[in-house]
Chains A and B, each alone.
Chain A
């Protein structure tokens, strides 16, 4: 099952990954803070819609996303 793993401590909360998902809103901003005080993004995929296209990971300037397929 395709999925992504976000390294929340590496994430700076820029949100670039949240705008490119072809399935809509599988990557969203979290309400919680990481240890640096950024709001990281989070992966929300209850219906298993992720296709592992890696668009979100491609946009990440901090290479905080790993994609599995």
Chain B
């Protein structure tokens, strides 16, 4: 029998992702998004100049998983901290990693003002429509009628209002340059997510303005589902209220993308 061709590794853990076990629940897409960010950091070769800001929420320990410099912000203040870092050290690539409880509730003020100032920073926004770490309470992004521990009969919009659509909101602000919504429920969406995160980092490195990539994500534990059921629920319910797509791509960003 002839010797087979030499095997090559075509998929493995990226260098910028620490070789540790994460604390995330089984099936949580945080792990996928962490890996995709690490792959982009490897591709762009920016591990030594990247600083992440971890939020408060399930991803509070992101600094243990992504192998770049990291800081931990007070609840909702990641963008304020990122603004300071980027202004003092404009050569750094600064990104914040925030959930919906962090970015769309207590951190909305920082979000809107960082975006309208056109800070050259990038936000990865994980929207899973619930407060995960604290036990599954209603978040600003919880869908109408969705059952959470603080809305046991479903979110009543007369009482609790309507969910916030972050991309649509931020895309109206002049300082924002690249605002897109993606997901990670199948390999094709993950590929699109990776391309979007790469573009967002490149927008920052070119100094074109504020960039945000929203990831419509899941929470099997607090939604009370298996991981596979949660991905199905995500596609059937979340995507109807949070359609995927590009919400703002400034002309300068389009020119940048055409060059790459």
Contacts and interface: CB of A to CB of B under 8 A. Distances in A.
B38 to A, nearest CB: 9
Interface string B1-17: 00010011111110001
Nearest to A36: B21
Nearest to A69: B10
A61 B228 contact: no
B134 interface: no
Contacts of B186: 20, 59
Interface in B126-169: none
Nearest to A38: B26
A65 B32 contact: no
B29 A10 contact: no
Interface residues of A, number: 25
Contacts of A52: 10
Contact of B13 (A38, A61, A63): A63
B231 interface: yes
A57 B228 CA distance: 16
Interface string A1-31: 1000000001011111001100000000000
Nearest to B231: A16
B187 A16 contact: no
A61 B215 CA distance: 14
Interface in A42-69: 52, 54-55, 57-63, 65-69
Contacts of B10: 52, 54, 67-69
A62 B11 contact: no
26 contacts: A1-B7, A12-B26, A14-B26, A14-B228, A15-B226, A15-B228, A20-B187, A38-B26, A54-B11, A58-B11, A58-B190, A58-B191, A59-B32, A61-B32, A61-B35, A62-B22, A62-B31, A63-B13, A63-B31, A63-B35, A66-B9, A66-B13, A67-B9, A67-B11, A67-B12, A68-B10
9 closest A-B pairs by CB:
A61-B31, A14-B27, A12-B26, A67-B11, A14-B26, A14-B227, A54-B11, A57-B11, A55-B187
Interface of A: 1, 10, 12-16, 19-20, 38, 52, 54-55, 57-63, 65-69
Interface of B: 4, 7-13, 17, 21-22, 24-32, 35, 186-187, 190-191, 220, 226-228, 231
